[in-house]
Amino acid sequence: MTTQMEFARRGVLTEEVKTIAAAEGVPPEFVMRGVAEGRIVVTRNLVRREMKPLGIGEGLRVKVNANIGTSKDICDPDRELEKAKAAMESGADTLMDLSTGGDLDAIRRRILKEVPIALGTVPIYQVAIEAQEKHGAIVNMTEDDIFNVIERHMKDGVDFITVHCGITRESVRRVIERKRLLGVVSRGGTFLTAWILKNEKENPLYSNFEYLLELAKDYDVVLSLGDGLRPGCISDATDSPQIQELLIIGELVERARKAGVQTMVEGPGHVPLDQIEANVKLEKSICAGAPFYVLGPLVTDVAPGYDHIVGAIGGAVAAMAGADYLCYVTPTEHIALPDLEDVREGVIVAKIAAHAADLTRRRESSLSWDYSISKARADLNWEEQIRLAINPEKVRKIRELRYPKKIEEVCTMCGEFCAIKLLKEYTRAEH
Amino acid sequence: MTTQMEFARRGVLTEEVKTIAAAEGVPPEFVMRGVAEGRIVVTRNLVRREMKPLGIGEGLRVKVNANIGTSKDICDPDRELEKAKAAMESGADTLMDLSTGGDLDAIRRRILKEVPIALGTVPIYQVAIEAQEKHGAIVNMTEDDIFNVIERHMKDGVDFITVHCGITRESVRRVIERKRLLGVVSRGGTFLTAWILKNEKENPLYSNFEYLLELAKDYDVVLSLGDGLRPGCISDATDSPQIQELLIIGELVERARKAGVQTMVEGPGHVPLDQIEANVKLEKSICAGAPFYVLGPLVTDVAPGYDHIVGAIGGAVAAMAGADYLCYVTPTEHIALPDLEDVREGVIVAKIAAHAADLTRRRESSLSWDYSISKARADLNWEEQIRLAINPEKVRKIRELRYPKKIEEVCTMCGEFCAIKLLKEYTRAEH
């Protein structure tokens, strides 16, 4: 037995499961059962034993991921490490290193070494870049290239990897025929689509899925089944290529479970607000409760510069409907590589969405935060309000710049007409 | 006949109704029927004939309000006028002047003169401030003071007023007994609660509601029935004082309709995500379809500094469930008076929420915006993407600061690995 899923199925309460249960405030048996049935994943590579394991899935706190990584245009590994640390400090539960510029192995290894939270990657990016360097074009990547890079990432300690196994010759044909407004917007999905079109062969991640499972099993790496055909705009949302891919992914989840390999499923994308719940319920049904990791969803296309907010609206609704894990979106999505401040804002806003959904579960651990800050508000206790705020620094700054002139216990919005202060005085006078 | 409701009931298609129908892309008869039945309001004071009328309610685009106004601590009328104009330019459909510092009559009149969108006020603020000046304390305000200020606002051309008619001796007794964590957080609600407690009399806005209706009718001012007992934190949400007030408001809506007076109903406040739909359905049922004007709702208490986002999450869900009108929240809510930039951000973020909900109605007028910007994205047409963005200036700034080095048509996130660009090249090569 090597994977958490295998241990859980035999009824072994691992240290990992116990740690997760304690962190979540739920019984260890609950976590174990979830892991056994594939409704909860433990994201920790076997070679990364020093890191605290994280649970993602049904009945647990909604998690938040932050993407960082260099691009060809903006390539500063130190800066990306700073972003990774800032994301963790702002409350990101996991990171994904999506670097496409510079020494990719070195960047990934540095992050694994210096940032002690679960790390995911999309190995196909590196495969494509190396193919371009070695073989002159992305579409010249070989099957061996693909699996070699995947194994390299696993050996390094990557805790989960996105693999676009649901893109097949058949689904590529359908998406091309359908003439979507925005075709394929997933980078990894596009690399594989291009490869399939050029080579007229099946996607190796699909045709050699069993080999992928063997590798994943050796390191207990979670396979995050990527939605390469996710919609890239509102008018492509919840269309047949997207759902076709989901059906294939559902079959792969089943195969992975048979092999004792942990999986989660990635979801859209651009989705109108009233289709989000259906998307979540569909994933949970087709993929038999596998943890759902959503990218947004973005509920409108018209707000570049505000896509962190657009994604928070969608993410909150998705998580309320049962999504388990939100990939943050930054303010610069669709425009540019995020900078340090964009990463911070992206994480905090995604955490707001996750927490808003957690509140709907009415667990004491979620409710008590809101209760405490509101108690501080009722007491006009500013230091405590600031301390408990999701970003204390921001609150302190706003308050200091616009500090009340006369009465310290109120703020400059209502001043002496503060409802809380007035009611206190009048009810005190009454009793 | 003086009010739009009266005309609509007689089957008269007024110019106002025709203008609204044209702006909304719906048949004039649809708007007329909505106005006749009280499901749509036309917010325009009879003395403000030069201003384009606005419709708010069922079947129309979701509207956004921006609050501006001085406070005792930060009192700069020029600055508030700037904010009012910025709010309008950013897309606010209406404004509320909530000034509590300086020459309140002069500020209100300037805004009415210089900003040609519907203006609302909360006259009880001015009543309270004048009572403090004239009679030494807020609780010394008289019934005459209240109705005199209301009439002054109406004469000046205010298009809608918030009146906390649903606060009664009975509901005050209940809210005090209940020991809510955050008692009464509405400023107007607190003034009246304090007045009731001190004077041991019934709320004049309730006991003399018929007189209020007469005044409203003379100017065709919309009465926005304020939720003085709205919850001020998650743990007070959807409690009995809140719902008790809603029941009273439902009765008042009925009385107003009998008098031919237009009303809308204000809603919470702090509400967990999964209680928002219930709140909207309840208002629509109890108040027989009266337009619902929500303040947020805020889906968590823990994020001061980000309450515009917290409110956008709640507002989008509320509007999807049927709320008609979103009051913006700014980043400085709970901390300080907003500045110019906070007002802009507040409006844009509330508009994102409103538009996300509008998309769920699948009307061409809403969908086409998203389609066009996504078409520009598919074409890698940056100028058009920027032009169509909800805030073009912000997109242009981000792009210019992180402009791609090699290939102009992509961005610095994916660079040459741009999925859209790659797919275009490979599908072109294929066909």
Residues of B in contact with A370 (CB under 8 A): 233-235, 300-302
In chain A, residues under CATH classification 3.20.20.540 are 4-361
Q: B195-233, pLDDT tens digit by residue?
A: 999 999 999 999 999 999 999 999 999 999 999 999 999
Q: Do B301 and A374 touch (CB under 8 A)?
A: yes
Can you read off the two tokens belonging to residue B244? 């008790």
Measure the CA–CA gap between A416 and A426, rounded to whole angstroms.
14
Confidence at residue B349, expressed as pLDDT on a 0 to 100 scale: 98
CB atoms within 10 A of CB A417: 22
Give the CATH number of domain B4-361.
3.20.20.540
Closest alpha carbon within chain B to A319: B273
The nearest CA of chain B is from the CA of A12 a distance in Å of: 36
- pLDDT for B431: 44
Contact B159, B221 (CB under 8 A): yes
Residue B143 has pLDDT above 50, yes or no: yes
Is A391's CB within 8 Å of B303's CB?
yes
Give the 3-state secondary structure of chain A.
CCCHHHHHHCCCCCHHHHHHHHHHCCCHHHHHHHHHHCCEEECCCCCCCCCCCCEEECCCCCEEEEEECCCCCCCCHHHHHHHHHHHHHHCCCEEEECCCCCCHHHHHHHHHHHCCCEEEECHHHHHHHHHHHHHCCHHHCCHHHHHHHHHHHHHHCCCEEEECCCCCHHHHHHHHHHCCCCCCCCHHHHHHHHHHHHHCCCCHHHHCHHHHHHHHHHHCCEEEECCCCCCCCHHHCCCHHHHHHHHHHHHHHHHHHHCCCCEEEEECCECCHHHHHHHHHHHHHHCCCCCEEEECCECCCCCCCCHHHHHHHHHHHHHHHCCCEEECCCCCCCCCCCCHHHHHHHHHHHHHHHHHHHHCCCCHHHHHHHHHHHHHHHCCCHHHHHHHCCCHHHHHHHHHHCCCCCCCCCCCCCHHHCHHHHHHHHHHHHC
> What would the two tokens of residue A167 be?
């893109």
A269 preceded by cis ω (within 30°)? yes
Q: Which of B213, B157, B161 lies closest to B44, judged by CA? A: B157
Q: For residues B307-335, give the mean pLDDT.
A: 98
- Total residue count of chain B as it appears in this document: 431
Tokens encoding A282? 């569909």
pLDDT at A424: 85
* Pairwise CB contact (< 8 Å): A181 & B370: no
Closest CA to A337 of A78, A153, A83, A107: A83
Q: Over pLDDT 70: what percentage of chain B?
A: 99
User: Interface pTM (ipTM) of the complex?
Assistant: 0.96
Q: What is residue A176's predicted lDDT score, i.e. its pLDDT?
A: 86
Q: Which residues pair with B120 in a beta bridge?
A: B96, B160
**Looking up tokens 């651990």, which residue turns up?**
A365
Residues A331, A308: contact at Cβ < 8 Å? yes
* pLDDT tens sequence across B34-51: 999 999 999 999 999 999
A370/B333 touch (CB, cutoff 8 Å), yes or no: no
- Of the pLDDT bands very low, low, confident and very high (cuts 50, 70, 90), residue B178 is confident
Which residue, among A73, A74, A229, would best test binding to B if mutated, counting the most B CBs under 10 Å from its CB? A73
Nearest to B344 by CA among B336, B332, B354: B332
Cα within 13 Å of Cα(B384), Cβ side: 14
Over residues B2-16, the pLDDT tens digits come to: 999 999 999 999 999
- Which of B180, B309, B391, B400 should we substitute to test contact with A (largest number of A Cβ atoms within 10 Å)? B309
Give the residue carrying structure tokens 């992928």: A212
The nearest CA of chain B is from the CA of A7 a distance in Å of 36
Q: What is the mean pLDDT of each run of 10 residues along chain A (431 residues)?
A: 96 98 97 98 96 97 98 95 98 98 98 98 97 95 98 98 96 88 94 95 98 98 97 96 96 98 97 98 98 97 98 98 98 96 98 98 93 97 97 96 90 90 77 43
The gap from C-alpha A67 to its chain's centroid, in whole angstroms, comes to: 8
Residues from chain A that touch B101, judged by Cβ atoms under 8 A, are 415
State residue B65 phi and psi, 5-degree precision: -110, 145
